[in-house]
Amino acid sequence: MLRSKIGGIGYYVPEKVVTNDDLTKVMDTSDEWIQERTGILERRYGKKHEETTTTMAARAAAVAIERAGIRKEDVDFIIFATLSPDFYFPGCGVLLQRELGITASEAGALDIRNQCSGFLYGISVADQFIRTGMYKNVLVVGSEMHSMGLDFSTSGRNVTVIFGDGAGAVLLQPTEEENKGILTTCLHSDGTYAEKLALINPGAHGGYHAKQLEEPVDYGYPDSKYGDMFVTQRMLDEGMLFPYMDGQFVFKMAVQKFPEVILEALGKAGLKKEDITMLIPHQANLRISQFVQRRLGLRDDQIWNNIQRFGNTTAASVPIALCEAYEAGAIKSGDLVCLAAFGSGFTWGAALLRW
Ligand code: UT7
């Protein structure tokens, strides 16, 4: 049976380390609060105006492509997951193609807007393309340059302290080897809570605050000298161009959905939680990962956490963690690796891979 396997994997994080203490210089927060609630010690920020979501993705992709032993011109489809794209449109997929210097191939490029679970959705889509024989070398990337779009005042602290920049990439290829590669993927969404974790402005709706959904406010749209289409003066004046999160609500959903979707994937593949060798959860909050670990009865060496050093890198977090675990020798041939993510949308998913 034709399946897809990870032929190559790579990640990139910017050099600049931003500690919790660094953040206390610009907002009312503390190292103690951040560590206790999230487990985060530090995160990386890209170099403003030099690095972008796309350039970081290209660094990660180059490693994945090299490890897969192919030429970058052989990539026949690109899937790019991000919530912090270089442009509003076009998406980062085509920008990555250009950055890699492979436009001549005219390979297709697809952008995924599924935030924390974007990479899971990406590898699931790639897996379908490979299983049907449509493509042989599919590049799936998750990359985020959060630091360009966060609110560094105290009013943004519950969101800002969590996020970091970085990129991860895999090159998926077909395999006919028995019991190898992606065994199954499960994808879910529930748009009921779309605004619970969202950056809702700018948008074609004309602008409102996430908190005021029940009573939409007339913001006098269109009213902007910056362009009536999406951004209004009011949005700029009122700091409405930053992400909003109802942290406790998201937390409660996350600890429910993570175990649920992992058990669903195991059931679909005819496996049990005891069969998992390594769990790579989306690095949302160390407390969420620890909860999931306990629910599944996994030992400390069966879960990969790096949120302490990189913060939450949204679409990049799963491939970065997977790549780190692989490079550290924590994943070996034949191991059952479980990837899982939950986030804004809400969207969530899991994948089981036989390494
Ligand atoms: O990756 C996508 C999915 N995202 C997630 O899964 C995130 C899920 N949620 C969380 O991880 C947590 O909800 C947070 C870490 C975001 C927040 O932790 P929390 O324990 O839920 O805190 P909270 O938002 O309920 O706030 C508790 C208190 C508030 O103060 P008062 O009203 O009790 O006086 C906040 O103003 O903590 C305050 N607070 C902070 N204090 C210092 C919020 N952020 C900070 C901060 N530093 N950075």
Dihedral, 194, 195, 197, 199 alpha carbons, nearest 10: 110
Helix, strand, coil in percent for the chain, rounding step 5? 40, 25, 35
* Ligand 1 atom having least distance to the Cα of 312: 1
Q: Tell me how far the alpha carbon of residue 86 lies from the centroid of ligand 1, in angstroms.
A: 28
CB atoms within 10 A of CB 49: 7
pLDDT at 242 (0 to 100)? 92
- Ligand 1 contacts CB of residue 285 (under 6 A): yes
pLDDT at 225 (0 to 100)? 46
**Closest CA to ligand 1's atom 14:** 247
Q: Per residue in 304-320, pLDDT tens?
A: 999 999 999 999 999 99
For the chain, which domains are there? 3-175 (3.40.47.10), 181-193+245-354 (3.40.47.10), 201-241 (no CATH)
**Closest CA to ligand 1's atom 5:** 284
Contacts of range 127-135, beta carbons closer than 8 Å, 24 or more positions apart: 127/3, 127/4, 127/172, 127/182, 127/185, 129/77, 130/2, 130/3, 130/4, 130/172, 130/173, 130/174, 131/2, 131/3, 131/4, 133/2, 133/174, 135/76, 135/77
* Across 34-48, 204-218, 226-240, least confident range: 204-218
Contact yes or no for 337/277 (Cβ under 8 A): yes
pLDDT at 221 (0 to 100)? 46
How far is it, in rounded angstroms, from Cα 229 to Cα 258?
38
Q: Per residue in 95-119, pLDDT tens?
A: 999 999 999 999 999 999 999 999 9
**Closest CA to ligand 1's atom 2:** 343
Contact yes or no for 236/226 (Cβ under 8 A): yes
pLDDT at 238 (0 to 100)? 80
pTM (two decimals): 0.95
Residues whose CB is less than 8 angstroms from the CB of residue 124 and which lie 6 or more positions away in sequence, other chains included: 185, 187, 349, 351
pLDDT of 210 over the 90 cut:
no
Q: DSSP 3-state assignment of 189?
A: strand
